Structure 1
Amino acid sequence: MTEHYWKDKYPAGVPAEINADAFPNIQAVLKESCQRFANKPAFSNLGKTLTYGELYELSGRFAAWLQQHTDLQPGDRIAVQLPNVLQYPVVVFGAMRAGLIVVNTNPLYTAREMEHQFNDAGAKALVCLANMAHLAEEVLPKTGVKHVIITEVGDMLPPLKRLIVNAVVKHVKKMVPAYRLPQAVKLTDALAKGKGVPVREANPGNSEIAVLQYTGGTTGVAKGAMLTHRNLVANMLQCKALMGANLGEGCEVVIAPLPLYHIYAFTVHCMMLMLTGNHNVLITNPRDLPAMIKDLGNYKFTGFIGLNTLFVALCNNEDFRRLDFSSLKLTLSGGMALQLAAAERWKEVTGCAICEGYGMTETSPVVSVNPVQNIQVGTIGIPLPSTQCRVIDDEGKVLPFGERGELCVKGPQVMKGYWQREEATREVMDAEGWLRTGDVAIIQDDGYMRIVDRKKDMILVSGFNVYPNELEDVLATLPGVLQCAAIGVPDERSGETIKMFVVVKPGASLTKEQVLKHMHDNVTGYKRPKLVEFRDSLPTTNVGKILRRELRDEELKKLASA
C-alpha cells in the first residue's frame, strides 16, 4: 500500500496532494479571506450577521485589548468556553492574532472537568458565557487562570435587541445562575477598549501550536492534542480539495448546528468555509428543534454539516420536512457512524445525499470523506489528498486490502502529539508519523474504507467520545461502590447510550437513583449513564482487569434475543 495508491482514486479535478505550506499560519488565512471577502457575510446568529470585514475588525479589537490590558504573552493558553454564538470566532481569531494558544472548552463541562482541563493546559485566561460563570467561580481558585472575560448570549446584537435577549435569558428563562467574579471583564468592555488600538500581529511558525484540543485519545483521562498551524491549514486545504469541489466562493450558505468548540465543526466552518469566503449560520442550541427549524426557514441554505442523531431528529419533524431544500447541494456527516436508514431518509426528505467522513481530534480532524461525485453509503470514503492510510494486525504487520485491522493514518494533519504526555504520544504515534486510530477498518480494492469495530472501549454518544475509565473513576468515589464498569450499548437516537455495572461493598446499600445523581453532579450531559445494573461480581481477567467486552457481548445477546 504505497503513498501513491489513491492517486487514481480521486474524482476528476481533485488533486492527490496539497501544499500544506501554502499559508504560514492561520492568521495569514484569516487576513487574506477577510480582505478578499470583506463585504461578504461570514457568520450569522440570532438574526445578526458579521461580514468578513467586521470579523477582522472585532477580532483585532479583542487582540489589542489582550495585548494592552493583560500580561498574556504569545504561547500562553486561553480557554474559550462558548457555544455557537458570534463571539466565538471573534474571540478565537482575536486570541490567535495576539499569539495565544486556544484551548477549546465544552460549555457543558462540570466543575470537575473544567478544573482538570484548565490545569492540564496551564490556562492563564478564560472566556466564558455568563451562564457558566458560577462554575468558573467555583473552579478558578484551584487553577492558574488570572484573566476572566465574560460574555452574554446577546452581546453581539444591536443595543436594544442585546438588552432584550440578555434580559430574557437571565430573568425569564433563568439560565444565568448567580455568580461573583469581581476580577472579570465584560467582553463588550474589552472590545470597546480595543477599538482603534493597533494590533501587534503575531506571526507564529507553522510548527507552533494553534489549538490544544482535548480528547481522551485512545484511553483514559482527557489529553490535549497539540494541533499546529500547519496541521489545521493542511486539513483546511485537504477538505477544500475533496469536500468543497462543488462549492463556490462567497456564495454558499452553510448551516452550522455542530459546536465550533468541536474540532470537526471548527475546521469546516472556521477554516475551510472561511478560506472560500462562505456564510456560516450558527445554531446555538440544536436541541431546540422548533427554534432551529424556524431559523433555517430564513435562509436558502446550500450546505448542511451534521451527524446521524440530528439527521434522524430533523427528518422526523413535520416542519423541517416542509422547508425549501431546492438549493441544498452538500450535506456532510461526521462525528459518529451514519446509519443507512438515516442516510436514505435524509435524501428522501431533502433530495441531497449525505457525504460521510471519518476523523479524530488527533487528525485535525478529517482523515477521509465520500466525494460528493461518488458516494458509497456505508463507507467513510477515501483518504483526503496527501493522506496515507493502512491497516495493521496486532503485531504491527501491514495487511492487504479486504482484511480487517487497526486503521493507521499519516499526513500533514496528524497532531504534533499530546500536550506534556510523551509516553501517551508514543503509544499512538511511531517515529515515521503513523498514528494508530484504535478503530478497526477494512480498505476496499476501490480505495474506499469501512469502519467495522472499535479496538478500544471508547463509547460514542451523539458524536462525542466517552471514555469508560473516566466514568469508572468518578463512580468509584461514591461511598458504597466496590467495583464498577461502563460500556456503550446500541441506541437508535444517539448511536450508543451508557450503561454502568455496579458491585456494592458488603454491608453497604446503593440505589440506581443515587448512582445517577452522583454521575449527574460530576460529568457533563453526554457522559451521563442512562442505565444502571447492580451485580454480585464482574467478569475479570486473572489479574483482576474488568472485561468490558464480555459485558458488552452479554448486552448484545440480550438485545438480539429481545
Structure 2
Amino acid sequence: MIHLIQQAHRHLYNTAIQSNGQSYTYQQLLEDSAVFSQKLLNGQSDLAEARVAFMVEPGYDYVRVQWGIWRAGGIAVPLCITYPPASLQYVIDDTTASIIVASARYTSVLQPLVDAKNLRFIELTQPESYPSVELPDIDPARGAMILYTSGTTNLPKGVVSTHANLEAQMTTLVEAWEWQPTDHILCVLPLHHVHGIINVIGCALWSGACCEFLPEFSPTAVFNAFQQGAINLFMAVPTIYFKLIAYWETLPSDEQQALTTRMCSFRLMVSGSAALPVTVMEKWERVSGHVLLERYGMTEIGMAISNPYRGQRVPGHIGQPLPGVGVRLVDDENNPVADGQPGEIQVKGPTVFREYWQRPQATQDAFTLDGWFRTGDVAVVDEGSYKILGRSSVDIIKSGGYKLSALEIEEVLRTHPAIGDCGVIGLPDEEWGEIVGAVLVTKEPIDITALNQWMRTQMPGYKVPRHYRIVTELPRNAMGKVTKNDLKQIF
C-alpha cells in the first residue's frame, strides 16, 4: 500500500480537508478516493502507470482525484487551471494521457482536446458506478506524478517522480518543520507545482493535519481565514507576501493590530518558489511577527535546502541541506569549490526524480557521471548558510571576466527609498561580454545619475547597472517569478 494512504488510516477521524464551507475527515477521503479508483479502473486490476491528466479546482475534489489515481496504479498529471488550450494539449499529448478528468467548469475547455484524440473523459459530476475490484499493491518505485518544468530553454519537460520520491520529499519536510496532527494550513498555491502539492497538501496529509482551501486568492479572503483562529501555518510565494503587505497597509490601525496579533500565534510561515527580497522579509516581520523561513527546491528534487525551524534564519539565505539530502557546490569543471566560493548546486538522494518523461538524453545530461543532479543554480556558503546567487543561465551576469549576481544587485536596488521593485539582467556587449541592465518600478521620479552614484557607495568595486528602464510593473509568471526574458524585451 502507498505509505501516504497508510498514514491516513492513523488519523481517520481528524479533519483532512476544508473547502467550500465543508469539512472532510481522513476516513471520508479514503472512502471517496477508493470509489474514484474503481471508476478509473473500470474493471481493470491495475492502471499500470497509465497517465491520468486532471483539471480540478483546488479543494476536496482535487485531493480525492489525485489519491484515486495513485491508488488505482496510475500516474497523476495535474493540469494548470489557467493554461490556454494549446498548453493543455501539449501536456496531454506529451504524456500520452489515456484518461482525462475534469471538474464541470472545465469540461468546455477540455472536451475538444478529448474528442480529437478519442480519449476517455470523466466529468466529476457524472454519476457512474463500476464493479468493485481489489485495489492494486503499488510498488514505491513506480511512477506517481508528472509535473512540467519549463526551465529556461526548449519545450517544457515532464518530471517523473516515483511514490518513493514523493514520500522522501514529504517525510524530510515533516521532520525538519516539525509537522503535527494538530496543524492547520491554508492552501493558496497553484496545484500543478511541487510547492502546493508536496509542501502544503502532502505534508499536511502525511501528518494527519488539516488543509484548508480558498476558492480563489485575495488578500481579504486570506486575512479573513486567518481571523477564524484555526490556521497556524502558511506558505506562499514572495509575490503573495508582497500583496498581503500592501493590503495590510491600507487597513485602519485597529484592524492591522488585530491581524498582527493573530499572526503572531502562528507556528510557522514559509516562503519559496522565487527569491525572497530582504525588504519583503523585513516588512512581513513587522506585519506578522514572523521571520519567514526561506527554503530552496525544484520540481526535480522537491526541497533540498532550508533555513532552520528552530534557530537563526539569515535574511537573503536559504539555510542548510535538509535531512537525508546530499548537496554540493561545484565549478564549471564539476570540481568542488573552496569555502566561500560560488558554485553550481548539485543534489543527490531519495528525493531526486526518476527521469524526464520520454527524454533519455535530457535525463542523462541532467546528472553527473556519479549521480548528482545538476540544478543550474549558483550559490555560495556564507555565514554557514547557503545563499543563492541566481540561475546560471539568467541570473549570473558574465562581465569583463567577472561573474555578477543579478539577485544581489536587485537586493541593493530595492533598498533605495525611491524604488518599489526591480529586475536585473545581463545585456549583450561587445567589449564586456555582458553589461548590467535594470528595470525599475519607482515610487517617485528618480535621477539615474544620482542613482548610479548611490549604487557605487552601496557596492564598492562592483559593476552597477549601465542601462535602466522604468516601468509601472514587472512582468511575472503564474508563480510570481520575474520573467527575465520579458525583461530583455523591455530593453
The TM-score, its normalising length taken from structure 2, stands at 0.78
User: Quick check: 2:264–2:290 contact (8 Å CA) kept in 1?
Assistant: no
Instruction: Name the counterpart of 1:367.
Output: 304
Match of 1:140 among 95, 100, 114: 114
Q: How does 1:265-344 map to 2 (within 5 A)?
A: 265-286=196-217, 288-318=218-248, 321=256, 322-323=258-259, 324-344=262-282
Alignment of 1:452-491 (within 5 A): 452-457=389-394
Contact 2:317–2:388 under 8 Å retained in 1: yes
Partner residue of 2:437?
553
Distance, in Å, in 2 between the alignment partners of 1:445 and 1:203 is 47
Which residue does the alignment assign to 2:67?
93
1:397: which partner in 2?
335
What is residue 66 of structure 1 aligned with on the other side? 40
Task: Give 2:186's match in structure 1, choosing from 255, 263, 267.
Answer: 255
What is the deviation of 1:312?
1.4
Task: For 1:391, give the aligned amino acid.
Answer: L
What is the CA–CA distance in structure 2 between the aligned matches of 1:92 and 1:494, rounded to whole Å? Answer: 38
- After TM superposition, the structure 1 = structure 2 runs for residues 143-182 of structure 1, keeping only pairs within 5 Å, are 143=117, 146-151=119-124
Aligned to 2:146: 212
* Partner of residue 51 from structure 2, selected from 69, 77, 90: 77
Which sections of structure 2, spanning at least 5 residues, go unmatched? 397-412, 440-464, 472-491
Match among 46, 49, 55 for residue 29 of structure 2: 55
SS in structure 1 of the partner of residue 283 of structure 2? helix
Query: Per the alignment, do residues 419 and 265 of structure 1 end up closer, same or farther by CA in structure 2, a change over 3 Å counting?
Result: same
Q: Structure 2: how far apart are the matches of 1:305 and 1:210? A: 24
Q: Distance in 2 between matches of 1:441 and 1:126?
A: 40
What amino acid maps onto 1:277 in structure 2?
A: G
Separation of aligned partners in 2, 1:49 and 1:493:
41
Query: d(CA) in 1 for partners of 2:380 and 2:42?
Result: 54
Asked if 1 retains the 8 angstrom alpha-carbon contact of 2:43 and 2:132, the reply is no
Conserved in 2, the CA contact under 8 Å of 1:441 and 1:451? yes
Which one of 101, 108, 117 corresponds to residue 82 of structure 2?
Answer: 108
SS of equivalent residue, structure 1 residue 44 = strand
Kept after mapping to 2: 8 A contact 1:227/1:415 = yes
In the TM superposition, residue 291 of structure 1 has moved relative to its aligned partner by 3.1
Q: Is the 8 A contact 1:388 1:409 kept in 2?
A: yes
Tell whether the 8 Å contact from 1:77 to 1:102 is kept in structure 2 after alignment: yes
8 Å Cα contact 1:96/1:202 also seen in 2: no
**72 and 149 in structure 1: CA distance in 2 versus 1, 3 angstrom threshold:** farther
**Aligned with residue 416 of structure 1, among 350, 354, 358:** 354
Residue 427 in 1 paired to residue 365 in 2?
A: yes
Secondary structure of the corresponding residue to residue 224 of structure 2: helix
Partner Cα distance (1:367, 1:97) in 2: 27
Name the amino acid aligned to 2:237. L
When residues 45 and 551 of structure 1 are mapped into structure 2, their CA distance, relative to the original with a 3 A threshold, is farther
Aligned length: 416
Kindly indicate whether the alpha-carbon contact (under 8 Å) linking 1:309 and 1:493 is maintained by their aligned counterparts in 2.
Answer: no
The answer to whether the 8 Å contact 1:438/1:454 transfers is yes
- Residue 218 of structure 1, CA deviation: 5.2
Q: Deviations over 1:251-272 (max 9, x none)?
A: 1111111123211211123322
1:496 positional shift: 5.7
Question: Which structure exhibits the higher relative contact order, with contacts defined as CA atoms closer than 8 Å and separated by 6 or more residues?
Answer: 1
Residues 495/98 of structure 1: CA separation in 2 closer, same or farther (3 Å cut):
farther
Corresponding residue to 1:380 among 318, 328, 346: 318
Alignment TM-score, normalising by the size of structure 1: 0.68
| Structure 1 residues 399 and 232: alpha-carbon distance in aligned structure 2, compared to 1, 3 A threshold | same
Matched residue, 1:29 = 4
CA distance in 1, matches of 2:215, 2:356: 30
Q: Percent sequence identity over matched residues? A: 26
